[in-house]
Structure 1
């Protein structure tokens, strides 16, 4: 995939469209920026896949032709290359507001050719915007926790306009501060949710493109934008650098008539703005609607001088309803509560058919678990509640600008609801499915399903830690889990979008925030923890570190945090390893260097007490760090436990990041930087060997210390044997249970495999006791928990999240060890299949759609069947034999 491309002279498209003997060969899954028919306004890259019933298909060359209204815009010519993903557009800048058709033609090593076409659209250039920012004049309660006494009604901006004749096309571009639904003549423009998505709003705000030609008619038309608070105005998620207090909208409708004339309808202050009967619709609190209440009288909005240079076309697919659940069981709790069980923890909301008398107040409460006696359990401080004041008419109710994490709902105040009147709607950013797993062990199958649901539930515009309590883009969770996510869904547009916000949020110093988009609450929290951390009485909990009224977070450099901030290097590298995406490495390289330089500078300037100054200058061993985080059995209030593991986490991760950056620079041909960062990494390793690895004190015997040292190759020779022996001793003494937190858990099974103890890895994986993966399954979990002990053996739940994807990283072990699939070249252009059958499964099947197509591994006791996609090769190891094969389906006995 990464081989150099050789370009031949351009020789006419038609001459390339010949077909040889392989007439079943065809191209499919054509994508631009890994999306179908997207709107783009920046870099453009192409990808495609090859299908054929023949074996050993290898792409020899490709050619891409891009055509617009004015003819050919770019012809790549014939390029000798196997590359079929992340092929960058290399032509002139494409005119804005236009549709383009592209044709890809591929020739194989056997001389066969096939072609296919797709389309994409360009968005608006800065000079194309005629619209004005229009802001509401209604008084608001911005950035406050909403309740019955504090309301922020959803707003309705409306205007009429006239269509004077038959249309050839009608395209709307729209965005807002807040979240919105676009409605044309009473119909929604599409079914997306939470537009314009969650980004680093002060530097990056997406707009959306809609084809609305089917919603317009000759004569009078009505445009409406329903606008809620969303992330921008929420007390927990208001982004750093954002100070607006009222929702604002921006829209531009580009009309082309059949006669070729054009007209633009845009936001200009002529709109009317009303408060709706949705009294609040808050991401954390929930929604309250009074169906007996009319909209308010209109107020004229005002024009505002808000920026346009931060606007970009939406770079990821939208949030949509992706699965619907019916009620599995109705429960009358011991307390007399009426509880509906959907059988699965999800992120989303409910649809309820109401038939209540006018004025009846119905309350819908959401929770992920019940208490041990089967009563409703409020696990979180956020209410997660909808309140509906009924109109007296039959109403199908679904909230619009909120979502919750739940499996159960409790409905109060309603008398006429039947089980079939209630459904649950799972919301998630739309992504293609890429993975599947099934084996003869039902508990492992359930664990895999738990992993998949936790991933879907927490990919809501950004990668969140949980869908109920914080809904924040914690960088450490992404660092831990990203590899598993890419084995199951098409994550490229999603992660590229999130990385755009991360690059925007990076400080000039190089510091990377702990949440992305960076929010004022967590920015303040980190600064305050860092200031208090080295004092005799450090902050112990959220009550000590959240801002008091009027308190400012200003002052001091934002620190980086080991294992969280490192995502700026770890994620792009992982994307490259698993998809072959070298373009993301190039895009992020300056930011990676800024971050690594901050680590190096911080280590050199701040002393942490090493025995030799020459060692200390290469150890990141000062400041606040979360450490391993959530090590089972080591929990303490607030952040008291952090220091117990930060002493090795920080220097270990500093080494890993700088060492990875050296490798990345080498891959990108930046030899000078590769030599510099490689030299620093070697000095960091020497300092760790001298000052950290031999260290013995009361916190020395954490499993994570030994696991990460082995995983990051920080130990050699006799010390490696000593560390492996100590890890084995700790595993035995812990009765083969998990003894690791966030940052070491991804490596525990792989490290045990690497030191030749497959048996111990499997004992840890299959252990039914707490803490362990199968303990959660045995306790009825349908998602991955935040804490291993979220539910006690007697069924008592903690007040904690039951939907965190981080520990779902075990699926990478399913993939790379149980199924034995490992990339030998980036993007699986060449890969190994060597299933580990020590686990004793009667059968196993793992599927994964890589950039080239489907990889499938299926085995029984004696037979292995492997599907290798076209344009790739696989090294198969089975029953003591090794064979390398090309594409096709192969059977081994």
Structure 2
């Protein structure tokens, strides 16, 4: 570490600017949880061919940078994930940093300064303790939501105030009656016994000299509300509680700290119940008016009781859940007076509306994804989730919306007492507020609809954790779903910190032997419906999230620190699976979920796929060994890299010896053999021909489940079978992606055949395992970016890219853009007659290589491309 800058350069690059300074914290909060935050930036330049050759970072106690700590000149072309070049931050400490880079023209000017403030980094910083309402403890069914409050005095004007707050349960916190944020369901869902997240808010503007009030409602949430189809309660504890610490600096230099302790008071109000699965019940006649404000008479409330400080307190580093979209639904009135609503798309969220009616009158809102044959809500597939919000009016007009819950739905019905009018109905869409970074469009509107459905399913299921579905009594962080979808997820939205947090819980929940639970956070599933198979809590393809998700993050965002952080979990999983191999080198002795929901599997047994589950398990062992070897090589673990590369080779050879003939009879078998490096080099061409023949023989209908689907289109196009890839993509018969689109899907379905060709719902075969918002089959979108448009990263973080479009399927144009760590990379192509025009834009700091698609000739040859804009004109013919 250097404490002074390098000598001022003689030459300057005035054409390039360092912009977008940020740390590895993506929370949007005022503070960071990292004492040594990793630092990143982007470059802006209109000059083509810009590359970064070196950088310098300075860190200072103030914006003047009079005596900064400096990294000195560091040779690097990377703009991401650089080390903090100063002493570690202490709790609450504020520092400023800036950067400049050296290009071929010399050094740029310094960037503008970015501020970094540390959160509470040590357990000793907490004087607060969680507090709860004693009468609420031990409740075994949904009940009144506890309210907690405390008043305090500020003898002078506040000039700075930080609120550090979390809960056992989910909280809504206010200062003097004003919410501290618009964030929902805080602090989300983590491995609560080991890790509880808090948030840091700047609440200076909410405080006043004199009397103030800090107040919160704390719902059950995931902490003690219903979880899984068994509807277990109190999974993590038998009481909700608030942990809050307000630290105020006054104009006279003094400080005031207000912390949760037994001086707080607790009571109840209009929230009679709030459950994630069941919904919310409110009685507005019981609103304790003014309870969030100073001067409220809480003498009739209980004295709060304190609990021990939770283990693993850390500030959240990923974006929060909030309302991300508002929709005005279509409204109609049914013959019985019920108000029927259609949001126009399948969403995750709730209804907000205005009701006017006499005291004691009621309003009930029910939700569903689809309608039955009579045009009413089909609620049987919600299983044990009531998904119902109920309100009792206090008389007059009220703005109504639920709290501490969410629903997955497109359709809703409102039933109201006689004399009640309902107006101004809106649908609030909720999600973890990740930044959208990917866009795709093509000349086929059916494919555009498919792509939009994928995005909508990701948004609806990225809510605190990556869930399988948002509507029924499940909503769990299934490892197999995100394993299949991670590369797509990381392209549609900036999923870096969101999935990093989830992987942190995966490593915590990982068993001592390296087994990865089927869901993260880990909760007791019992027997898996509808199969009732006695799984030991892990399965091939599911546990492989431990290797696939970190790899996807590294490929998309180029942050080696992420790979390093999750390397131990990757290694433990591979060691676990290697230890399960039989003497012949295959994993054949365990029950598996296999190629789950293969369309040919018996509806009541979705694990009984056409591709042998033992083959699938074995090739996933090989693939994870290969991914681990690559990670080890990237991190400089040479012995591990060699060891796990050898494990990949041995396991691949064993799988091919045992199942070569069988694998070539199914789409999944061929696709995994090609994409996982299982088929020997000499046999790859034949296997690819077999796969293409299977697609043609099946009329272009898909024949893969959760584990095979992400790999079948890449396996075809990567081996030159572009026509068959498009045949599979564009097939409109069941099963197929565009079959769902033709049936009116607005999100991805769990089952390929969830709706019959005649439009009826297939509840007879599927039973109640029937979700219409399941993102796993949306893994197809990665292929739309990488193959249809041809925008593919060839170095982590898109530092280098291959541009290799694959026109076909009758498409006349396609375009995509991805906001990479370096800036926006974009490709657009269009066919007019015998001419193919390709427009390419690469951000500063990157390079690309263009490959002409088969059947098209590029007079300029394409080849290597520098940053900037390029237009290539190709002509038909070889």
Task: Write out aligned runs for 1:715-864 (5 A).
Answer: 715-716=679-680, 719-798=683-762, 799=768, 800-861=770-831, 862-864=836-838
1:767 to partner: Cα distance? 0.6
Partner of 2:448: 445
- Establish whether residue 170 from structure 1 lines up as the match of residue 129 from structure 2: no
Per the alignment, in what secondary structure is the counterpart of residue 183 of structure 1? Answer: strand
User: 2-side partners of 1:139 and 1:79: how far apart?
Assistant: 57
Deviates more, 1:30-39 or 1:757-766: 30-39
User: 2-side partners of 1:419 and 1:335: how far apart?
Assistant: 15
1:336 to partner: Cα distance? 6.6
- Establish whether residue 652 from structure 1 lines up as the match of residue 619 from structure 2: yes
Contact 1:209–1:313 under 8 Å retained in 2: yes
Task: Write out aligned runs for 1:55-204 (5 A).
Answer: 55-68=48-61, 74-114=69-109, 115-124=111-120, 125-139=122-136, 142=139, 150-204=141-195
- Establish whether residue 51 from structure 1 lines up as the match of residue 29 from structure 2: no
Deviation string for 1:186-211 (max 9, x for gaps)? 11011000111111111110011011
Change (3 A) 1:817 1:255: same
User: 2-side partners of 1:239 and 1:196: how far apart?
Assistant: 20
Change (3 A) 1:163 1:93: same
User: 2-side partners of 1:757 and 1:732: how far apart?
Assistant: 11
1:710 to partner: Cα distance? 1.7
Per the alignment, in what secondary structure is the counterpart of residue 566 of structure 2? Answer: helix
1:442 to partner: Cα distance? 1.0
Contact 1:253–1:264 under 8 Å retained in 2: yes
Partner of 1:360: 361
Partner of 2:488: 484
User: 2-side partners of 1:757 and 1:619: how far apart?
Assistant: 30
1:646 to partner: Cα distance? 1.5
1:735 to partner: Cα distance? 1.3
Task: Write out aligned runs for 1:188-267 (5 A).
Answer: 188-236=179-227, 243-267=236-260
Deviation string for 1:626-657 (max 9, x for gaps)? 10000113133256626963121111101111
Per the alignment, in what secondary structure is the counterpart of residue 224 of structure 2? Answer: coil
- Establish whether residue 602 from structure 1 lines up as the match of residue 593 from structure 2: no
User: 2-side partners of 1:821 and 1:702: how far apart?
Assistant: 29
Partner of 1:27: 18
1:73 to partner: Cα distance? 7.0
User: 2-side partners of 1:240 and 1:407: how far apart?
Assistant: 28
Change (3 A) 1:513 1:823: same
Task: Write out aligned runs for 1:668-687 (5 A).
Answer: 668-687=635-654
Contact 2:6–2:73 under 8 Å retained in 1: no
- Establish whether residue 872 from structure 1 lines up as the match of residue 850 from structure 2: no
Deviation string for 1:729-787 (max 9, x for gaps)? 32223211010000000011111113321111101101111111111111111111111
User: 2-side partners of 1:243 and 1:169: how far apart?
Assistant: 35
Task: Write out aligned runs for 1:419-458 (5 A).
Answer: 421-458=424-461
Partner of 1:550: none
1:726 to partner: Cα distance? 3.3
1:511 to partner: Cα distance? 1.0
Paired residue total: 836
Contact 1:141–1:151 under 8 Å retained in 2: no
- Establish whether residue 39 from structure 1 lines up as the match of residue 31 from structure 2: yes
Per the alignment, in what secondary structure is the counterpart of residue 446 of structure 1? Answer: helix
1:572 to partner: Cα distance? 0.8
Per the alignment, in what secondary structure is the counterpart of residue 85 of structure 1? Answer: coil
Deviation string for 1:559-618 (max 9, x for gaps)? 531000011111111111222121111111122221111112222xxx5xxxxx3x1xx2
1:372 to partner: Cα distance? 4.0
- Establish whether residue 300 from structure 1 lines up as the match of residue 296 from structure 2: no
1:136 to partner: Cα distance? 2.2
User: 1-side partners of 2:68 and 2:152: how far apart?
Assistant: 35
Per the alignment, in what secondary structure is the counterpart of residue 580 of structure 2? Answer: helix
Contact 2:270–2:283 under 8 Å retained in 1: yes
Deviates more, 1:65-74 or 1:653-662: 65-74
Per the alignment, in what secondary structure is the counterpart of residue 246 of structure 2? Answer: strand
Per the alignment, in what secondary structure is the counterpart of residue 612 of structure 2? Answer: helix
Contact 1:736–1:764 under 8 Å retained in 2: yes
Partner of 1:534: none
User: 1-side partners of 2:704 and 2:263: how far apart?
Assistant: 59
Change (3 A) 1:468 1:141: farther
Contact 1:365–1:386 under 8 Å retained in 2: yes
CA RMSD of aligned residues (A): 2.5
User: 2-side partners of 1:505 and 1:241: how far apart?
Assistant: 19
Per the alignment, in what secondary structure is the counterpart of residue 405 of structure 1? Answer: strand
User: 1-side partners of 2:126 and 2:243: how far apart?
Assistant: 10
- Establish whether residue 637 from structure 1 lines up as the match of residue 604 from structure 2: yes
The unaligned stretches of length 5 or more in structure 2 are: 289-297, 763-767, 874-878
Change (3 A) 1:747 1:367: same
Partner of 1:398: 401
Change (3 A) 1:271 1:717: closer
Deviation string for 1:128-153 (max 9, x for gaps)? 111122222124565x6xxxxx5321
User: 1-side partners of 2:598 and 2:610: how far apart?
Assistant: 12
1:39 to partner: Cα distance? 2.3
User: 2-side partners of 1:724 and 1:667: how far apart?
Assistant: 30
Aligned match of 2:658 in 684, 688, 691?
Answer: 691
Q: Please give the TM-score of this superposition, normalised by the length of structure 1.
A: 0.89
1:660 to partner: Cα distance? 1.6
Aligned match of 1:410 in 407, 410, 413?
Answer: 413
1:416 to partner: Cα distance? 6.9
User: 1-side partners of 2:686 and 2:439: how far apart?
Assistant: 38
Contact 2:100–2:107 under 8 Å retained in 1: no
Partner of 1:554: none
Q: Please give the TM-score of this superposition, normalised by the length of structure 2.
A: 0.91
Deviates more, 1:368-377 or 1:816-825: 368-377
Per the alignment, in what secondary structure is the counterpart of residue 673 of structure 1? Answer: helix
Per the alignment, in what secondary structure is the counterpart of residue 231 of structure 1? Answer: helix
Contact 1:829–1:873 under 8 Å retained in 2: yes
Change (3 A) 1:709 1:194: same
